Homo-oligomer: A and B are copies of this chain.
Amino acid sequence: MKSSSINLPAEKIIKREKFDESAFRQMIRTMNLKVTDQRLLIFEALHSGRAHVTAQEVFEKVHAVDGAVGFATVYRFLRSLTEYGFVTEVRMGGMSARYELTPKRHHDHLTCMSCGKICEFENHEIESLQERVAAQFGFELTSHVLELYGHCRDCTKAKLKKS
């Protein structure tokens, strides 16, 4: 899909906790799945580098380590992880899904349409207003998607300079 959407360029690598293999093994067992090298590699790929990756990107990282791993395995496992909530799926427009290890704290995203930078934020006021809206309509809320799009300071400046 070439489409109207932006193509995300590099994103800053975020500082992250040390890779804890045994924790991942535990998660896999929690899902009633078997611990395999492929699955550990997928976890490793999710854990290092940029926070929001496509299945394709995960595949490429895993493939670089073990060229025998196939697409299907990556997609399959990402799906399981998403179903169990260990991984969160983020979608922007019609682009391919991006995945991240579910963060401890819930957060939403603010994306720069120029450079692709993604900022994470949490805002309790917004959350509770959402609950209120749902209640007004008699809904029980199960989840939500809040994605903000705009231009970051650097890109706004850069654009001004050009014109």
Q: Which chain A residues in 116-141 approach chain B with CB under 8 Å? A: 119, 121, 123, 125-126, 129-130, 133-134, 136-141
A149 to B142 alpha-carbon distance, docked (Å): 6
CB distance from A131 to the nearest CB of B (A): 9
For the complex, is A146 an interface residue (Cβ under 8 Å from B)? yes
Q: Is the CB of B133 within 8 A of A129?
A: no
Known A4-B83, A91-B93, A91-B94; contact A142-B113, beta-carbon cutoff 8 A: yes
For the complex, is A34 an interface residue (Cβ under 8 Å from B)? no
Residues on B with C-beta less than 8 A from A148 are 130, 133-134, 139, 141, 144
Q: Is the CB of B140 within 8 A of A144?
A: no
For the complex, is A153 an interface residue (Cβ under 8 Å from B)? yes
Q: Please give me the residue from chain B that is nearest to A111 by CB atom.
A: B139
Residues on B with C-beta less than 8 A from A4 are 79, 82-83
Q: Is the CB of A141 within 8 A of B149?
A: yes
For the complex, is A110 an interface residue (Cβ under 8 Å from B)? yes
Q: What is the interface of chain A, defined by CB distance below 8 A to chain B? A: 4, 79, 82-83, 89, 91, 93-94, 97, 110, 112-113, 119, 121, 123, 125-126, 129-130, 133-134, 136-153, 156
Interface contacts beyond A91-B94, A139-B153: sample of 9 additional A-B pairs, CB < 8 Å, sorted by A? A112-B139, A119-B137, A121-B137, A123-B129, A129-B129, A139-B151, A144-B148, A145-B145, A145-B149
